[in-house]
């Protein structure tokens, strides 16, 4: 007859530590899990997968300098608003440049249309003088 294995004292039924306590400790201190998976065939490395997992509270992650979720538009409404504001500013600047360019073309076209009759008249006068 086999006796059931007993859990170590800190996590056994008499310890009083429950899942919430363990989770609180892990999130307060943080935990890093790292592992690599490599697939080789005849000493040729075909695939390497590096896995890194950090489990920590938001405050602890910020202490460690990890805050990527704050600047990811998919995860932060503030980052999404900032991205939309930047995009809107860029589009307005582009529109202003295009409108300024179009106005400059229209002004140049109007000047050209005003000069054309003078140039045509000058050409007629020169042709008359040359034929005489």
110: Cβ–Cβ under 8 A, 6 or more apart, which residues?
none
CA distance 126 to 116: 15
- Residue percentage of the chain with pLDDT more than 70: 73
Buried b (16+ CB within 10 A) or exposed e, 72-111: eeeebeeeeeeeeeeeeeeeeeeeeeeeeeeeeeeeeeee
Give pLDDT tens digits for 34-52: 888 888 888 888 888 888 8
Residue 55 in contact with residue 26, Cβ under 8 Å? yes
Residue 13 in contact with residue 7, Cβ under 8 Å? yes
Asked if the model's pLDDT at residue 19 lies above 90, the reply is no
Give pLDDT tens digits for 56-115: 888 888 887 888 878 887 878 888 888 899 999 999 999 999 999 998 888 888 777 776
pTM over 0.75: no
């Amino acid at each position: 007859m086999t006796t059931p294995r007993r859990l170590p004292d800190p996590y056994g039924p008499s310890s009083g530590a429950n899942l919430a306590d363990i989770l609180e400790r892990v999130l307060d201190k943080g935990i890093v899990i790292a592992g690599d998976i490599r697939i080789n065939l005849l000493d040729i490395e075909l695939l390497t997968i590096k896995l890194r997992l950090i489990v920590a509270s938001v405050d602890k992650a910020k202490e460690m300098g990890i805050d990527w979720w704050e600047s990811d538009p998919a995860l932060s409404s503030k980052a999404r608003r900032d991205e939309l504001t930047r995009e809107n500013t860029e589009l307005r600047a582009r529109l202003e440049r295009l409108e300024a360019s179009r106005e400059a073309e229209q002004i140049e076209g109007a000047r050209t249309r005003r000069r054309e009759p003078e140039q045509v008249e000058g050409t007629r006068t020169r042709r008359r003088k040359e034929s005489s």
